[in-house]
Structure 1
Amino acid sequence: MPIAASRLPAPCRPELEVINRLLQGLEGRLQWPAVIERARPWVDAVRSKPAPFWAMESLLREYPISSAEGLALMRLAEALLRVPDAETAIALTADQLGRADFSGGAAEGSQHKMLASLSASAIGLAKKMLPESDSKPGVLERLGSQTVVAATVRAIQLLGRQFVLGRNIDEALSEARSQRKEQPRLRFSFDMLGEGARTEHDAQRYLASYRNAINVIAASSAKAGGDGPPERDGISIKLSALHPRYEDAQLERVISELVPRVQGLMDLAAQADINLTIDAEESDRLELSLEVFDRLAAHVQASAPRWAGFGLAIQAYQTRSLEMIDAIAAIARARGLKFMVRLVKGAYWDGEIKRAQELGLAGYPVFTHKHHTDIAYLACAARLIEHHALILPQFATHNAGTIAAIVGMARERGAKYEMQRLHGMGEGIYRELLATESTLPLRIYAPVGEHRDLLAYLVRRLLENGANSSFVHQLADAQVHVEELLHSPLAAADAPGQPLPALLYGEGRANSSGADLAVPEQRLPLQQAVSVARVPVIPMATTEDVQRAMVTLGTGFEAWSTKPVAERAAIIRRAGDLLDARLADCCGLLVREAGKTLGDCIAEVREAVDFCRYYAQQAEERLEAIRLPGPTGESNELRLHGRGIFVCISPWNFPLAIFAGQVVAALVAGNAVAAKPAEQTPAVAAAFIELLHEAGLPRDAVALLHGSGETVGAALVAHAATAGVCFTGSTQVAKIIQRTLAASDGAIVPLIAETGGLNAMVVDSSALPEQVIDAVVQSAFRSAGQRCSALRLLCVHESIADGVIEMLRGAMQVLKVGDAADIATDVGPVIDAEAHAGLSRHVQRLEREATLLGRSPMDARFAGTHIAPVAFELKAIEELREEVFGPVLHVVRWGGDVAALVARINALRFGLTLGIQTRIDSRALRIAATAKIGNVYVNRNMIGAVVGVQPFGGEGLSGTGPKAGGPHYLYRFCGEQTLTINTAAAGGNAALLAGLH
């Protein structure tokens, strides 16, 4: 059973509080002047002896990541080697090299000229021969272009060889033996390169790779000898590579499927008595990793209690790193084992920051100052040294000051430990260290794999070590004095290095509060709310109710519209704050009435909160009277006012967010509102209306009218008192509303409509397949495909289509279709029986007319309420003629000119969302410029537009505009009045006359 002591604290604690506690723990442990004196000779020696030609220090000196050349290098390294077709390779090379100047990169007399040898003439040829468009060049142009591409590919391959020990484990071991001839005590931890698994096939492939590597390492270690894991080569494994759903929500599957796989690898490593280390992952997997580690430790306890080679990596930049060490020590103590623990700084910092901001968390799970991470590393190092009876510490760092501090602390305690560095980095520092500490063990973390697989690893290393603040970068800069390079990090900053997620949008608008479902303490209140939620019955309105409501609203409008903008905004903002505080209760109701998963519920409540706060802010900034210029003796002013009664008709797919967004926009602009929610979800709407009243909205300013579109909706649209209609729903219903309004004999009434879309994603051959699959699965199948923005049409370049389709098929197989209230569910039910029947008929037709690519498994008990995600291949884009509002994906292959593909997408006449997956920046911009699409997303999913960040709405058959959640939205709800006053009419122009002498 898991060790109870292994529980971790909340991930988003106040950073300064954590740091101050870490600093207290370091008091008396470090004398920094002594650290500087120990490290100074190493730094001086490294600077006096130029680094090897392809060492990281050399690259960073020649081509800093902050430069155009460094960025081009990074982008080409990430993508070029996996591009299968010549045209895309040429376009990618031109796109990146065309914005950089490698000819000036190497200083006169410099030995570091490999990238410069791409040469001014080659780069000039690329710029000259490659057209502005990335369309296929002519024969002569291709000859020149291919020369440049070939040179670039060769340079990238040479670059990869410096950071990947071998293309396979045999080659890597051969290189390791070669290096040991010079340093006999050197040992290696081999890391088999690759992305996290997206499919079960990927996981099995990585499992076989790990198994083979362990067997080969074991055979080599048996020949080489050595006393157990500390003196032998080992292997590092990534749990996310061994299971396609390595995430907290899938705990049961992880325990039943992943844990036995790792146990098998551990048994092989234990039999060979070599080290097996579990690599670190993102913070949302930290609790899960600890749970898995504990279960694996129990296996070691039962099967190989004398094996001391099992371990894991801990990232010091996580605010819970010290507690993680204590938890591992507690497991070791309870199990009677000894572990090997690798301490690293951390590899996903930018992603962790972005995730916390996007989720609206209370803080960050990582430190936001680099020197805070340095403090945490030292505190963790000290704690590992304290636990040296239970843990063999492995310190992975290239920072000379950190190394010197560790040497001093370990010597004081008499603790055994080893140092680690990345292959291809930090060679100079460790050369000097081992010259003075000849018995100190050094292990090389050595990636192994084909060069085309190195991209994610290499780019991450370049980003980590190429940042201007990194030690490796500054070590290469002789202008940085030794004292500055080795200055003590032991002081807390005055404030966080990043604004807290709540302040993401500045002081004027607070970000909505979210929850991290990977954290049990945040997940539990939501699950409890779901368990007690009940859906009240909302009475249906009659046409008589509509008539009475419009009369009441007419009276209410007179009072509400005359309130100052600031008062109206204050009420709407207060409603947002109330909603923000009731996240769990709102989620419970959404799960029960709308069949949404918890993740979707959180996002929807947050969107509704954002609408309230954003429109309140926009009203205060944009709806006050505007003074206009004019001749002397005259004042001119433009005033905005409510139109009257606005009819707001919202859909069931976002029963809170879209409903709230429409209603509060109309209200804050000074209108009264007749709100008709979707027939399927009136309880959510009713709850929000009551919340508005609680916030101070007069009861005669809004009316909830629940009923069918044919009766209540039609009556509201046709009513003589209707001054505007805001509608979100199908294109067909929008057309009916449009015709009804046009046929009216009354005033010309504005229509704000957001309708459906045949939303496409264009994928070219430079795109990263794993990233494509993540975006496709989220865009097409999240929310059961019931989003306006959901992906309907996937257009994949023919040169990579087979591989992408195979990966998509596998990714669909590991989706879970089930009860929306179950945290493990990925795809919940479709909204009702009518939607289910329509989708079923469409799928049946595709089964006859198209090619089935893949379908997610589904338990038979959900057959009447759910549609399993399914994908079909069409022969042509034009076969998709109408929006299919569910988890049904249509795939087509494309080739040739991408401009022709975009023209065919435009010809569908829908224009809501478009996804673009490419590494060619200029291509993405050209597609966006020519696409008649309201929202374009590059290298990400196509759903989840954020209020005020990605204003949402389409054109063509997809809507009228303006975009919801954008700066122009409120104006459409307003009437305008210009007030001109002749101020000189009474007694002359006193102001002008006063200026006479």
Structure 2
Amino acid sequence: MAAKTVPRLVAGAWRAPDAGRVLEVRDPADLRRVVALVPAMTAAEVAELFDAAERGAVAWAAESPLRRAEVLTGAARLLRQRADEITADLVAEMGKTRAEAAGEAAKSADFLDYYASFARRPYGSLLADARPSTSMSTRTEPLGVVVLVTPWNDPLLTPARKLAPALIAGNAVVLKPATETPLSALHLARALHDAGLPAGVLGVAVGRSAGIGDALLDDPRVAAVSFTGSTAVGRGLQRRLAGRDVRVQTEMGGKNATAVLADADLGLAASTVAAAAFGQTGQRCTATSRVVVDRAVAGELTESLIGAARACRVGPGEDAATTTGPLVSAAHRTDVLEHLTLARKEGAKLLTGGEVPAEGHGCFLTPAVLGGVTRTMAIWRDEVFGPVVAVHVVDGFDEAVEAVNDSAYGLAAAVFTTNLRHANEFAARARTGQVAVNLPTTGWDVHLPFGGFGDSGSPFKEQGAEALRFYTRVKTVAVAW
């Protein structure tokens, strides 16, 4: 099948890539296959997006929130109608299984519908004023032009999670999808465009960050930047934008831990941890990568995790039998393998997995379980972002909580226990933005505030009503009558 050529969205128009300036999107399940050719935009073309966004922001802010909601719900409807095509492209460019990709497409439409509902909610309030014949109120307003930088692991869902609140609030958006996975974001842009989004309100900057990053971040019209990606890049972004009147939101890395206590339902714990660790090939910011287990049940739990890892069916995402697809690229697989090599060098035991299948041309890796992990090892501290789980043995509840909190990251944590006191105390003491009891570290719905502490993110939350705080400012108005 020949690779399709995908145009770019500029000022409400779709433009074909210039000859000779395209990027190849390759299938991680078979690197010989070029899925699509997408534009490799220049800094001058990004400036054109901002020109259009500056005009679009004024018109969009003046629109009724009810009209904005019509566009979002229309786009949600189109995403659902086009779900088969979108799912196929998600599988092809990122390597997810069809079930994972279909779930992402559905959840992305849910984000648009959810934030459309805010059109009928209050966007201000009345306040008392001590002066006679004076009314006092507050109102929320859009910021203007916002830049959204999104990752390759959830290439449709993360743009939808950011775009929906930004648009319902009345902002114009310049979206920068990951170079590895731009097709999904372009599907989202097309749905919004076809649903009636005015020209300029959304522009998509497709290209390598090295070539267009300065143009994206240095433009004086940028009012806010929302970023999802690695902690190293996120911290660099915060430093770069410091001192400017630019609001910054960062959703960064994680080293999520699940504690399994001696009284846990071990069958539930093992199956849940395995799904959270190996699902989406471990390429989720909320994936479980550390297992903290009480010594009394460590042997039984570890054996169950080994069995679950070996039961994973590694293969291309388009195969219905596949449960674990490829890693996103050969370079990323090499990085994951280097983490495993270092872990073994430092004394951890590779109990199963971590193998590259001999056949095929994809970026496959069998899910790995590491035992004998101590809190001095790099595998305990560093984000791997692959199907790797590190098992650390503790004695008792207090030691388990201490181990869970022994991380610079603070995104998600979970505990498995049948003790109500331990469940509530764990929720209070875990230093993470999301805490689950007898549930996975993954899987947070559109209306639930999402975001981490420490090296996992900035104070601004995503999802839920909290997300709108980032994309709006508050104005206080006094009127003497």
Alpha carbons of structure 1 residues 619 and 878: separation in structure 2 relative to 1, 3 Å: farther
Work out whether 1:615 is the aligned partner of 2:115. Answer: yes
Give 1:542's aligned residue: 42
Which of 853, 861, 877 in structure 1 is aligned with 2:375? Answer: 877
Give 1:771's aligned residue: 268
Unaligned 5+ residue runs, structure 2? 1-32
The letter of the residue matching 1:872 is L
Where in structure 2 are the equivalents of 1:568-647 lying within 5 Å?
Answer: 568-622=68-122, 624-631=123-130, 632-647=132-147
Work out whether 1:784 is the aligned partner of 2:281. Answer: yes
Which of 954, 961, 964 in structure 1 is aligned with 2:462? Answer: 964
Give 1:935's aligned residue: 434
Which of 527, 548, 551 in structure 1 is aligned with 2:51? Answer: 551
Give 1:923's aligned residue: 422
SS of the equivalent of 1:802 reads helix
Where in structure 2 are the equivalents of 1:419-458 lying within 5 Å?
Answer: none
Alpha carbons of structure 1 residues 914 and 878: separation in structure 2 relative to 1, 3 Å: farther
Work out whether 1:852 is the aligned partner of 2:347. Answer: no
Alpha carbons of structure 1 residues 905 and 769: separation in structure 2 relative to 1, 3 Å: closer
Work out whether 1:804 is the aligned partner of 2:301. Answer: yes
The letter of the residue matching 1:934 is G
Work out whether 1:895 is the aligned partner of 2:395. Answer: yes
The answer to whether the 8 Å contact 2:57/2:171 transfers is: yes
- Displacement after TM superposition at 1:864 (Å): 5.3
Give 2:155's aligned residue: 655
The answer to whether the 8 Å contact 2:340/2:354 transfers is: no
SS of the equivalent of 1:958 reads coil
Q: Distance in 1 between matches of 2:411 and 2:38?
A: 33
Unaligned 5+ residue runs, structure 1? 1-532, 984-997
> Residue deviations 1:789-810, cap 9 Å, x none?
0011001100110111112112
The answer to whether the 8 Å contact 1:839/1:867 transfers is: no
Q: Which has the higher contact order (CA 8 A, sep 6+)?
A: 2
> Residue deviations 1:359-417, cap 9 Å, x none?
xxxxxxxxxxxxxxxxxxxxxxxxxxxxxxxxxxxxxxxxxxxxxxxxxxxxxxxxxxx
The letter of the residue matching 2:420 is D
SS of the equivalent of 1:807 reads helix
Where in structure 2 are the equivalents of 1:898-909 lying within 5 Å?
Answer: 898-909=397-408
Work out whether 1:982 is the aligned partner of 2:456. Answer: no
Alpha carbons of structure 1 residues 572 and 640: separation in structure 2 relative to 1, 3 Å: same
In the superposition, the TM-score normalised over structure 2's length comes to: 0.89
Give 1:742's aligned residue: 242
The answer to whether the 8 Å contact 1:763/1:918 transfers is: yes
Q: Distance in 2 between matches of 1:863 and 1:688?
A: 30
> Residue deviations 1:425-470, cap 9 Å, x none?
xxxxxxxxxxxxxxxxxxxxxxxxxxxxxxxxxxxxxxxxxxxxxx
Q: Distance in 1 between matches of 2:254 and 2:218?
A: 26
SS of the equivalent of 1:846 reads helix
Aligned-residue identity in percent: 33
Work out whether 1:835 is the aligned partner of 2:332. Answer: yes
Where in structure 2 are the equivalents of 1:265-276 lying within 5 Å?
Answer: none
SS of the equivalent of 1:699 reads coil
Q: Distance in 2 between matches of 1:857 and 1:770?
A: 26
In the superposition, the TM-score normalised over structure 1's length comes to: 0.44
Q: Distance in 1 between matches of 2:37 and 2:267?
A: 45
Give 1:865's aligned residue: 363
Alpha carbons of structure 1 residues 875 and 596: separation in structure 2 relative to 1, 3 Å: closer
SS of the equivalent of 2:359 reads helix
> Residue deviations 1:74-100, cap 9 Å, x none?
xxxxxxxxxxxxxxxxxxxxxxxxxxx
Work out whether 1:731 is the aligned partner of 2:231. Answer: yes
Where in structure 2 are the equivalents of 1:167-246 lying within 5 Å?
Answer: none
- Structure number having the greater helix percentage: 1
Work out whether 1:753 is the aligned partner of 2:250. Answer: yes
- Displacement after TM superposition at 1:655 (Å): 0.3
- Displacement after TM superposition at 1:652 (Å): 0.5
Alpha carbons of structure 1 residues 877 and 660: separation in structure 2 relative to 1, 3 Å: same
SS of the equivalent of 2:226 reads strand
Work out whether 1:680 is the aligned partner of 2:180. Answer: yes
Alpha carbons of structure 1 residues 819 and 663: separation in structure 2 relative to 1, 3 Å: same
Give 2:214's aligned residue: 714
Alpha carbons of structure 1 residues 855 and 845: separation in structure 2 relative to 1, 3 Å: same
- Displacement after TM superposition at 1:575 (Å): 1.0
C-alpha RMSD over aligned residues: 1.8
Alpha carbons of structure 1 residues 917 and 628: separation in structure 2 relative to 1, 3 Å: same
- Displacement after TM superposition at 1:856 (Å): 7.3
- Displacement after TM superposition at 1:613 (Å): 1.0
- Displacement after TM superposition at 1:611 (Å): 0.8
Q: Distance in 2 between matches of 1:878 and 1:967?
A: 39
> Residue deviations 1:895-954, cap 9 Å, x none?
03x234323432412111101111111101101101111111111222121111x43211
Give 1:306's aligned residue: none
Work out whether 1:951 is the aligned partner of 2:449. Answer: yes
Where in structure 2 are the equivalents of 1:118-197 lying within 5 Å?
Answer: none
- Displacement after TM superposition at 1:818 (Å): 0.7
Alpha carbons of structure 1 residues 561 and 878: separation in structure 2 relative to 1, 3 Å: farther
The letter of the residue matching 1:953 is G
Work out whether 1:824 is the aligned partner of 2:324. Answer: no
The answer to whether the 8 Å contact 1:535/1:593 transfers is: yes
- Displacement after TM superposition at 1:569 (Å): 1.6
Work out whether 1:911 is the aligned partner of 2:410. Answer: yes
Give 1:9's aligned residue: none
- Displacement after TM superposition at 1:689 (Å): 0.5
- Displacement after TM superposition at 1:862 (Å): 4.4
The letter of the residue matching 1:608 is S
Which of 168, 171, 193 in structure 2 is aligned with 1:693? Answer: 193
> Residue deviations 1:264-321, cap 9 Å, x none?
xxxxxxxxxxxxxxxxxxxxxxxxxxxxxxxxxxxxxxxxxxxxxxxxxxxxxxxxxx
Greater shift after overlay, 663-672 or 870-879? 870-879
Where in structure 2 are the equivalents of 1:276-291 lying within 5 Å?
Answer: none
- Displacement after TM superposition at 1:534 (Å): 9.2
Q: Distance in 2 between matches of 1:619 and 1:680?
A: 34
The answer to whether the 8 Å contact 2:404/2:413 transfers is: no
Q: Distance in 2 between matches of 1:784 and 1:922?
A: 34
The letter of the residue matching 1:564 is S
> Residue deviations 1:697-756, cap 9 Å, x none?
012111000122233233212221110001111111111110111154xxx211111111
The answer to whether the 8 Å contact 1:727/1:753 transfers is: yes
- Displacement after TM superposition at 1:544 (Å): 0.7
The letter of the residue matching 2:124 is A
Give 1:566's aligned residue: 66
SS of the equivalent of 2:37 reads coil
The answer to whether the 8 Å contact 1:812/1:856 transfers is: no
The answer to whether the 8 Å contact 1:779/1:941 transfers is: yes
The letter of the residue matching 2:422 is R
Q: Distance in 2 between matches of 1:713 and 1:766?
A: 51
Give 2:10's aligned residue: none
SS of the equivalent of 2:38 reads coil
SS of the equivalent of 1:838 reads helix
The answer to whether the 8 Å contact 1:796/1:894 transfers is: yes
The letter of the residue matching 2:252 is T
